[in-house]
Amino acid sequence: MTTVKIPDGHGNTLTLLEVDGHYYPNSSADVIRGIRDVTIRNDDVLICAYPKCGTHWLWEIIRLLLVGNTDGEIREKDELHLEFVANDVIEKFPSPRILNTHVQFHQLPQTVQEKKCKIIFLARNPKDVAVSFYHHHKNLPMYYHYHGTWDHYLPLFLEGKVDFGSWFTYMKNWEKEMKNHPELPFLTVMFEDLKEDSLSGIKKMADFLGVKRSEQFYHAVSERTSFGQMQATKGRLLKEHGGTSIVYRKGAVGDWKNHFTVGQSEMFDQLYREQMNGCNFSFRYSTTDSVP
């Protein structure tokens, strides 16, 4: 295990954990290396996403669909986050488990392919991801020790010098692996689509999971997992040093427009075209605009 300080070129550093050539947030190298040995069950559901794509939100939707009840206790997805929870703890959880991770496909538990558990892949437009990740790193100084500005931070994100590496590499690798493994049950969910029409997304996920609920229940799940509700209930469990929610900051589509300059946006678009050439993922920068 090696703790590294990644410089942003302006005298600020981002503190990360480096394990076998990959960057992670502050965790345990043994836990991270143990991900490959996690024993997968047939009825596990695995949520995979790059950080800041809405995993907390999606995890709660899936949990409510599986339990069939919106009035239960508040639970948090970190209890089954593969990068932070040891195998012996994960093993004790009753089925069905909703596991979640930010690692690449080849870093998943080895038994994923054998058990063919359902995998939900969540994606979000990269400009909003970058902005959300910036605030995440700034709002957790006790872990990341990062004090740079947005202008200082953006190059780190673009160069993949953040936990879990390059967004571009992550997305391209996942697309390739999903094509290479047609035998595995994948469902891709786009953050913007779910935000625009949560009810349709919830029904699609229920069909994928093989659970049949009432129309009234789907509406209840949509209401229970609205950003305002999530911020009021689960958001209070995850506060940063300033008292605001770490995870449920805005949950908005298009917040990048409040951070990117015109020059930064154009540079990002050019890099996107270069890096994602041939990629079939389609990302919306808002609910009406497409990536140039």
Segment among 72-76, 188-192, 248-252 with least mean pLDDT: 248-252
| In-domain check, residue 284 | no
- Would you place residue 28 in the very low, low, confident or very high pLDDT band (cuts 50, 70, 90)? very high
Is 281 a domain residue? no
Q: Are 173 and 179 in contact (CB under 8 A)?
A: no
Our count of domains for the chain comes to: 1
Q: Does the structure show a pLDDT above 50 at 245? A: no
Which residue range(s) make up the domain with 194? Answer: 2-275
| pLDDT at residue 75 tops 90 | no
Give the per-residue pLDDT at 251: 55
What is the residue-averaged pLDDT of the chain?
90
Q: How many residues does the chain have?
A: 292
Q: State residue 227's pLDDT score.
A: 78
- Sort 247 into a burial class: Cβ within 10 Å, 0-12 / 13-18 / 19+: buried
> How far apart (Å, rounded) are the C-alpha atoms in residues 187 and 69?
23
pLDDT of residue 287: 41
Catalytic residues: 102
Contact 152, 10 (CB under 8 A): yes
Task: Report if residue 282 sits inside a domain.
Answer: no
What's the rounded Cα separation, in Å, for the pair 209 and 203? 10
Does residue 292 lie in a domain region? no
Instruction: Give the tens place of pLDDT for each residue, 82-138.
Output: 999 999 999 999 999 999 999 999 999 999 999 999 999 999 999 999 999 999 999
Helices marked H in 139-279: 141-144, 150-158, 167-180, 191-196, 198-209, 215-224, 227-233, 262-275
Q: Is 194 inside any structural domain?
A: yes
Would 165 be classed as within a structural domain?
A: yes
Residue 139 belongs to a domain: yes
The CA-based dihedral angle spanning residues 175, 181, 183, 189, taken in that order and rounded to the nearest 10 degrees: -20
Exposed, middle or buried: residue 155 (CB in 10 Å: 0-12, 13-18, 19+)?
A: middle
- Residue 238 in any domain: the answer is yes
pLDDT reported for residue 288: 43
Order of all β-strands in the sheet with 13-19: 2-7, 13-19, 22-24
Q: How confident is the model at residue 292 (pLDDT cuts 50, 70, 90)?
A: very low
E strands in the chain: 2-7, 13-19, 22-24, 45-49, 98-101, 118-123, 186-190
| Least confident among 38-52, 90-104, 133-147, 250-264 | 250-264
Confidence of residue 265 (pLDDT cuts 50, 70, 90): very high
Q: Is the pLDDT of residue 290 over 70?
A: no
The tokens of 3 are what? 């703790």
Could you say which DSSP state residue 94 is in?
P
CATH number, domain containing residue 112: 3.40.50.300
